[in-house]
Amino acid sequence: MEKKKEGHFVLVHGACHGAWCWYKVIAQLKSMGHKVTALDMAGSGVHPKQVHEIHSFSDYFEPLMTFMASLKPEEKVILVGHSFGGYSIATAMERFHEQVAVAVFATAFMPSPNLPYLTLSQQFDETMDSDKTMDTEYVFPNGTDKPPTSGLLGPNFMATKLYQLSPPEARDLALALTLVRHVGLFHDEESIKAVAVTNEKYGSVHRVFFVCCKDYVIKEEYQRWMIKNNPPDEVKSISDSDHMVMFSNPIDLCSCLQEIADKYT
């Protein structure tokens, strides 16, 4: 029987979350023989910075970029970005393309040179429900006539849109321990430029998209729209998963990640 390949997975969380949300996936991937690194982006999880100290995407992504820069020249990793983490891993692919064996976008924003941040954001807004973000909190230090500078997912929004198929204790853990934190919302030119990608670098890395079919935030129609307009090398569907695939269906998620390791490492 052929031995399953072992890879080094680098797991990147979505908005307001942190490395903590991968705990089930980390345990399972390690039991399968893989090396796993889960990172907190700046101001997320247990990262010491506060949201008001993070002024741009470059600040927010800094922990991932520092980690990528620390890799040995011959070392390659499998990047996995969830949700907003798609922008994090896309930036890492652009800057460190030679050290990424493959990148996995798990119901994540997947930019391209033709689908930049502003285009993805506009299309995403058009797919949201009429109640938008429900009880999500926003901070307007420059006045309500200016864009908010940060947001915090609301408990009702999380329960009905993100975690509706996940074990209740997963959501309760996040809320009881205040593991969900404000995330910066960046509209400045520097930030938009920081998440721009090119065909030469980002485009040279293998990409796989994991569709979560019962995601009520980044809806399946939006996921398929990104795939159609920016085709990855592969698409895998996880049928019984809400937005928080690492909680609602960690077994299928890890099975798909093993297939990726077997093929691309």
pLDDT one-digit tens code per residue, 199-224: 999 999 999 999 999 999 999 999 99
Evaluate if residue 1 carries a pLDDT over 50: no
Residue 2 belongs to a domain: no
Residue 211 belongs to a domain: yes
If you search the block for the tokens 């052929």, which residue do you land on?
A: 2
Residue 175 belongs to a domain: yes
Residue 256 belongs to a domain: yes
Judge contact between 49 and 56, C-beta under 8 A: no
Count H helices and E strands in the chain, helices first: 10, 9
Q: By C-alpha distance, which of 7, 18, 29 is closest to 250?
A: 29
Confidence of residue 31 (pLDDT cuts 50, 70, 90): very high
Q: Which residues contact 61 (CB under 8 A, 6 or more apart)?
A: 41, 42, 87, 88, 91, 92, 194
pLDDT tens track for 33-75: 999 999 999 999 999 999 999 999 999 999 999 999 999 999 9
Please give the model's pTM, rounded to 2 decimal places.
0.96
Domain harbouring 75, CATH code: 3.40.50.1820
Residue 181 belongs to a domain: yes
Cα-atom radius of gyration of the chain, to the nearest Å? 17
Annotated active-site residue 172? The verdict is: no
Partners of residue 38 on adjacent β-strands: 11
Active-site residue (options: 17, 166, 182, 215): 215
pLDDT, position 37 = 98
Annotated active-site residue 215? The verdict is: yes
CA 218 to the chain's CA centroid: 11
Annotated active-site residue 255? The verdict is: no
If you search the block for the tokens 């920081």, which residue do you land on?
A: 194
Active-site residue (options: 40, 191, 243, 248): 243
Residue 1 belongs to a domain: no
Residue 3 belongs to a domain: no
SS3 assignment, position 165: coil
pLDDT, position 179 = 82
**Structural domain boundaries enclosing 127:** 8-264
**Total number of domains in the chain:** 1
pLDDT tens track for 102-144: 999 999 999 999 999 999 999 999 999 888 889 999 999 889 8
Active-site residue (options: 83, 88, 150, 166): 83
